[in-house]
């Protein structure tokens, strides 16, 4: 079972990351999926997405849950029936979940140069401390995207914009953490953020 990493950012929260090395058949075999989950996975055109979906169910299983314990609200945000907060992510060959007593969000992204092309769509305030000439520019952009994606998953409110409503406070890659803000609808919300790199991927997660 390729549970890749387990992190405890605080006493109420656990992060689990899975490295997807199994085939679709190997991942599917031990699982008991709800009818709508089975329909979803069978309807996916990419086996990579199927394996990502199924590996998340293995992470649930490793955390003492089953697919039956997971449901989604009208905004597509996942919830657990016992009231714990959960967020889910998968990207290529990695997947991850974060479970906590408080609201949380998580994202895994592959570090790719094409993120520089879309940078101006999701960074604004951050341009104050970013430079395209930095040797770690792509990695830092990926951290910012991951944090903002995590915030979006946590808040799950239609109409929020990465560039306008989310702010990531200056950081260095070696810090492994920073602070982020949501500034939306005349209210401000502050979050703790954490990030780490592995095998050309970046994982970011946010906690309250």
Could you please state the CATH topology (level 3) that the domain comprising 3-101 is classified under.
Answer: Ribosomal Protein L22; Chain A (3.90.470)
d(CA 145, CA 143): 5
Could you please state the CATH topology (level 3) that the domain comprising 107-207 is classified under.
Answer: Ribosomal Protein L22; Chain A (3.90.470)
d(CA 154, CA 150): 6
d(CA 1, CA 21): 9
Domain boundaries, the chain: 3-101, 107-207
Q: What is the pLDDT of residues 35-89, one digit of tens each?
A: 999 999 999 999 999 999 999 999 999 999 999 999 999 989 999 999 999 999 9
Q: What is the mean pLDDT of the chain?
A: 96
The model's pTM: 0.96
Strand partners, 128: none
Q: What is the pLDDT of residues 163-190, one digit of tens each?
A: 999 999 999 999 999 999 999 999 999 9
Residue 61 and residue 12 in contact, taking contact as beta carbons nearer than 8 Å: no
């Amino acid at each position: 079972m390729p549970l890749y990493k387990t992190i405890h950012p605080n006493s109420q929260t656990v992060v689990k990351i899975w490295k997807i090395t199994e085939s679709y058949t190997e991942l599917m075999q031990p699982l008991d999926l709800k009818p709508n989950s089975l329909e979803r996975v069978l309807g996916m055109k990419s086996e990579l997405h199927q394996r990502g979906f199924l590996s998340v169910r293995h992470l649930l299983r490793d955390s003492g849950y089953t697919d039956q314990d997971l449901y989604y609200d009208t905004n597509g945000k996942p919830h657990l029936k016992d009231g714990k907060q959960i967020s889910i992510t998968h990207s290529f060959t990695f997947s991850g979940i974060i479970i906590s007593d408080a609201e949380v969000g998580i994202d895994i992204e592959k570090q790719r140069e094409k993120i520089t092309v879309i940078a101006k769509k999701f960074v604004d305030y951050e341009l104050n401390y970013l430079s395209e000439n930095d040797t770690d520019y792509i990695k830092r952009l990926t951290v910012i995207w991951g944090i903002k994606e995590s915030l979006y998953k946590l808040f799950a409110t239609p109409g929020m914009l990465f560039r306008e409503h989310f702010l990531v406070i200056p950081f260095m890659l070696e810090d492994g953490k920073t602070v982020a803000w949501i500034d939306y609808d005349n209210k401000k919300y502050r979050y703790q953020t954490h990030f780490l790199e592995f095998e050309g991927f970046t994982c970011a997660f946010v906690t309250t």
